[in-house]
A and B are shown apart, each in its own frame.
Chain A
Amino acid sequence: MSTETTGLVLAAPSRAWVETVARRSEGVALPLGALLIGFLAFSVFLAVLGKSPVAFFGYVYQAGFGTEFSWSNTLSRAAPLLLAALCVALPARLGLVVIGGEGAIVLGGVAAGALAMSLPGLPGPIGILMMGLGAMIAGGAWIGAIGAMRYYRGVNETISSLLMAYIAIALMNHLVEGPFRDPASLNKPSTAPLPDAYRIGELPFIDVHWGLAAGILACVLCWVLIERTTWGFAARIVGGNVRAAEVQGLPTGVLMVGFTALGGACAGLAGMFEVAAIHGSANASLAAGYGYTAILIAFLARHNALAVIPVAVLFAGLEASSGLIQRRMELPDATIAVLEGLVFVAILLSETLTGRMRLFQPELWRRTS
């Protein structure tokens, strides 16, 4: 009896704390639950095919996270995913669903490749800086135009960003097969190979290029911008209710164009790292689908730039294991896409549960003794 009473007395002052935890944990628990449900549904899919889900996740672990080599493979793939996910997550905080980051990636890559061709012979760091700036301007202008069309003309940004991604890919094909083509590239039309000084090397201690560091830094900076600055707060007001933002006199159009352009600049930078650290020249390999996987990553991270980091690493690991799974389990290439699709559907469904589960309502925890 006496212990119970003590427990109650102790619980009373901490109740507000429990309520806050209940409210806050919703944002973590719902995406995690959706991820698990997506994995479960995929396990059923595998079982129907007569394959073992246990073996599948075993191979994912082995190929994505099991060895030093698999970690470096995973983290190299995470670099463009981190940057491309910001192209979804930043506009989403203003209530814009932009799904065409792929377009900014390929244009950023082409801009980097073309700049390297037209500005040879600069000192390495300056050349890389120019390529990075060019890629960010190209990607930023492309996605910023989507924000501008949305604000000034009311064009649906989801549709326009997707369609503009196709235009960007066609434009890239035209440029690398036409004006920017290196005549020496016979089988795979490409821009001229980058001078060695313009290639981006690997980070100290791990076998991963500098794009990973840039991606993580970009995520941290974007988080600070959104959560800790007045510009980010103004953007969140626009995302929360654009009419209220207008009545408050906030520059809604500037914020929409600025934040979509910033997201596009991040994705453009991803294209530059693909060119300068992986491919060595700009070619059709730039359209590798990172921009589409990034949509799933941003949604799973609930458009929180810091949460993007672990989610991007997880999905990079999944994609890294794709080859091993094809060989060992005799599953087609598209298997990982099925898994990603199932997780995405689960995520979209989980969004509808926001604010509807009693477990996360502070009222459940507000007990009167």
Chain B
Amino acid sequence: MSISEVFGGIPVDRSTLRALPNKAIGVATVGMTMRFGAFTALDTVSITVRAGTFHALLGENGAGKSTLVKCMMGFYTPTSGQMMVEDREVEIADPRAAHELGLGMVYQHFTLVPSLTAAENLVISRARVSPVIDWTREKSGLLTFMATMPFSVPLDVPVARLAAGEKQKLELLKQLYLGRRFLILDEPTSVLTPSEADELLGMVRGLTQAGELTCLMITHKFREVTRFADEVSVLRRGQHVGGGRVGDLTTNEMAAMMIGEKELAQSADRVSGTGADILSVAGVRAMDRSGLKPIAIDALTVRSGEIVGVAGVSGNGQMELMEILTGQRPTPAGEIRVKDRPFRASRRQCRDNNVRYLPEEPLRNACAPKMSVAENIAFRTFDTIEGSGRERFWLDGSETRRRGAELVAAFKVKTAALDAPIASLSGGNVQRAVLARELSGDVDLLVAANPCFGLDFSAVAEIRARIMAARNAGAAVLLISEDLDEILELSDRILVMSEGCIAFETPIASADIAEIGRHMAGHA
């Protein structure tokens, strides 16, 4: 029986296998290309991660970082290109093949079983465990293993009771326990507090310097790159656009590589003239979705006739800001005012002040998927009499259908029928239907989150034009978006959110993209 048969047809030779256990290994990609249909997610990316280095992979959302590491780990089969492990060409057909070569990955979110202890999690993670586990032997084996590690976690406590930092350490220990010598860390600190993050990355750096581990870390945060990484590679739109030794690069240079040459594409029909303050937020405090990190919005004002863009890397508190403004997230401190009156996002207040919301992922957050297109369009107005604004008790079905038909035509929603469930529409048409609901009538304040996420080119252009039209008609618009191009195209003023706070503000006229990028990356 040949060795490749033993390892499921993976051509590996004995010397590679023998090299695995004890020291860091070097990995490289050569001309890695990945196409999904007509879309090229990765375009001939070649990066080299030398043995025993801590290598950072930087890039905006959608730059291709995840695609690259998924190709390296065998989750995807690249369209073309080659993986090299210890300077040998290898084929990685699936994640198991990657594991056999000593490659491992730590994900953004935990993959531990919360009800089991650390020891149990480590033992069951092995590919081959005997059906009857000899716990005495396993425990002593684990203790011996732990003694060789520079850090430890309590072995006998259920993982659910460990702090997030300890869980992430355990994820790291698990990889080392499984004999992995090349680790990909996918935003490992996004669920950690800053001090936990520093401790974890410090440990990884220690292991790489000791030559026990090679590490490739996906990150958005320049601070982590400059403090812990040896080398950096930057991806933009699927291409490797630069990199080198961290010591040789300034954060400005890295930000410029990450964001690239962006032109400020202004919509032609921008009407100038900003009016009174519509939305003002002062001293608001809340907790983020994980309940660990605080959200603090000290001052935020949006005036009539302007679009304020909130830029930021995903997960820095933008979605929580949206939830605070829609009244979905408790705010123990601070005040939100609309038109200079306290605002708690009740239906009546929204109606009286013409406040409208476009949450991200409209089918998930703004529609009832099984209800009809006409009913979904009626969500905002079904309980008031058109014109007088008085509340009504009886539904008016013919009014719902008439309004639905009008708005479907006016907003060019493509649907088989008015009574078709809205879930049967394409993403662009769901968003058109939601826009038809929220942008009909007078709009004084519009709060939108990632309104064009996942939509095709024509829908994007149309939806941005609608938002701009609302601004030109005098609406105050708060545009929360992870797409920096969108922010730059639409905004009159740009704010940057980082770590739950508004870190930076600039008018569009004097916007310096490198500076925006630095603040997005949490490096002022």
Binding site for B on A (CB under 8 A): 16, 19-20, 23, 227-234, 236-237, 239-241, 243-244, 246-251, 355, 362-363, 366
Q: Judge whether B365 is part of the interface by a CB distance below 8 angstroms.
A: yes
Q: Which of B326, B364, B368, B419 contacts A20 (CB 8 A)?
A: B419
Q: Are B416 and A243 touching (Cβ within 8 A)?
A: no
How far in angstroms is the closest Cβ of chain A from B383?
A: 4
Q: A228-B394, A231-B393 are in contact. Are A241 and B417 (CB under 8 A)?
A: no
Q: Are A241 and B367 touching (Cβ within 8 A)?
A: yes
Q: Are A247 and B368 touching (Cβ within 8 A)?
A: no
Chain B residues, Cβ within 8 Å of A234: 382-383
Q: Are A230 and B419 touching (Cβ within 8 A)?
A: no
Q: Judge whether B359 is part of the interface by a CB distance below 8 angstroms.
A: yes
Chain A residues, Cβ within 8 Å of B350: 249
Q: Judge whether B458 is part of the interface by a CB distance below 8 angstroms.
A: no
Chain B residues, Cβ within 8 Å of A232: 395
Q: Are A249 and B327 touching (Cβ within 8 A)?
A: yes
How far in angstroms is the closest Cβ of chain A from B399?
A: 12
Q: How far is the CA of A190 from the CA of B190 in the complex (A)?
A: 63
Chain B residues, Cβ within 8 Å of A23: 417, 419-420
Q: Which of B346, B395, B420 contacts A230 (CB 8 A)?
A: B395
How far in angstroms is the closest Cβ of chain B from A96?
A: 15
Q: A241-B369, A244-B367 are in contact. Are A362 and B417 (CB under 8 A)?
A: yes
Q: Are B371 and A236 touching (Cβ within 8 A)?
A: yes
Q: Which of A229, A247, A362 contacts B328 (CB 8 A)?
A: A247
Q: A233-B382, A249-B347, A362-B420 are in contact. Are A240 and B368 (CB under 8 A)?
A: yes
Top 3 closest pairs, chain A to chain B, by CB: A240-B368, A249-B347, A230-B383
Question: What are 11 A-B pairs at a CB distance below 8 A?
Answer: A20-B417, A229-B393, A230-B393, A233-B375, A233-B382, A234-B382, A236-B368, A246-B326, A247-B359, A249-B348, A355-B421
Q: How far is the CA of A208 from the CA of B326 in the complex (A)?
A: 53
Q: Which of A20, A228, A237 contacts B379 (CB 8 A)?
A: A237
Given contacts A237-B368, A249-B346, list 5 more A-B pairs with CB under 8 A: A233-B395, A240-B367, A241-B364, A247-B357, A249-B345
Q: Are B419 and A248 touching (Cβ within 8 A)?
A: no
Q: Are A229 and B394 touching (Cβ within 8 A)?
A: yes
Chain A residues, Cβ within 8 Å of B391: 230
Q: Are B371 and A237 touching (Cβ within 8 A)?
A: yes
Q: Which of A240, A246, A249 contacts B371 (CB 8 A)?
A: A240
How far in angstroms is the closest Cβ of chain A from B511?
A: 30
- Convert B369-395 into 0s and 1s, putting 1 for each residue whose CB lies closer than 8 angstroms to a CB of A: 111000100111011000000011111
Chain B residues, Cβ within 8 Å of A237: 368, 371, 379
Q: Are A248 and B365 touching (Cβ within 8 A)?
A: no
Q: Are A247 and B365 touching (Cβ within 8 A)?
A: yes
Chain A residues, Cβ within 8 Å of B380: 248
Q: Are B379 and A246 touching (Cβ within 8 A)?
A: no
Q: Judge whether B366 is part of the interface by a CB distance below 8 angstroms.
A: yes
Chain B residues, Cβ within 8 Å of A240: 367-371
Task: Tell me the number of A-to-B contacts counted with CB atoms below 8 Å.
Answer: 85
How far in angstroms is the closest Cβ of chain A from B375?
A: 8
Most buried by B among A16, A227, A244: A244
Q: Are A246 and B328 touching (Cβ within 8 A)?
A: yes
Chain B residues, Cβ within 8 Å of A366: 416
Q: Which of A228, A244, A362 contacts B416 (CB 8 A)?
A: A362
Q: How far is the CA of A363 from the CA of B420 in the complex (A)?
A: 11
How far in angstroms is the closest Cβ of chain A from B403?
A: 14
How far in angstroms is the closest Cβ of chain B from A277?
A: 33
Chain B residues, Cβ within 8 Å of A239: 368
Q: Are A244 and B368 touching (Cβ within 8 A)?
A: yes
Chain A residues, Cβ within 8 Å of B367: 240-241, 244
Chain B residues, Cβ within 8 Å of A236: 368, 371, 375
Q: How far is the CA of A363 from the CA of B417 in the complex (A)?
A: 11
How far in angstroms is the closest Cβ of chain A from B353?
A: 11
- Cβ-closest chain B residue relative to A16: B417
Q: Are B327 and A246 touching (Cβ within 8 A)?
A: yes
Q: Which of A228, A230, A243, A249 contacts B365 (CB 8 A)?
A: A243
Chain B residues, Cβ within 8 Å of A362: 416-417, 420
How far in angstroms is the closest Cβ of chain B from A279?
A: 38
Chain A residues, Cβ within 8 Å of B421: 355
Q: How far is the CA of A249 from the CA of B326 in the complex (A)?
A: 8
Q: Are B364 and A243 touching (Cβ within 8 A)?
A: yes
- Cβ-closest chain A residue relative to B392: A230
Q: Are A244 and B365 touching (Cβ within 8 A)?
A: yes
How far in angstroms is the closest Cβ of chain B from A253?
A: 12
Which residues of B from 335 to 353 have beta carbons under 8 Å from A?
345-350
Q: How far is the CA of A19 from the CA of B416 in the complex (A)?
A: 10
Chain B residues, Cβ within 8 Å of A246: 326-328
Q: How far is the CA of A10 from the CA of B364 in the complex (A)?
A: 41
How far in angstroms is the closest Cβ of chain A from B43?
A: 38
Which residues of B from 281 to 326 have beta carbons under 8 Å from A?
326
Which residues of B from 256 to 283 have beta carbons under 8 Å from A?
none
Q: How far is the CA of A234 from the CA of B369 in the complex (A)?
A: 15
Q: Are A247 and B366 touching (Cβ within 8 A)?
A: yes
Q: How far is the CA of A239 from the CA of B371 in the complex (A)?
A: 10
Most buried by A among B379, B380, B419: B379
Q: How far is the CA of A334 from the CA of B342 in the complex (A)?
A: 62
Q: Are B368 and A241 touching (Cβ within 8 A)?
A: yes
Chain A residues, Cβ within 8 Å of B383: 230, 233-234
Q: A23-B420, A240-B370, A241-B369 are in contact. Are A248 and B393 (CB under 8 A)?
A: no
How far in angstroms is the closest Cβ of chain A from B121?
A: 27
Which residues of B from 401 to 442 have beta carbons under 8 Å from A?
416-417, 419-421
Q: Are B382 and A230 touching (Cβ within 8 A)?
A: yes
How far in angstroms is the closest Cβ of chain A from B39?
A: 27
Q: How far is the CA of A16 from the CA of B417 in the complex (A)?
A: 8
- Cβ-closest chain A residue relative to B351: A249
- Cβ-closest chain B residue relative to A243: B365
- Cβ-closest chain A residue relative to B447: A247
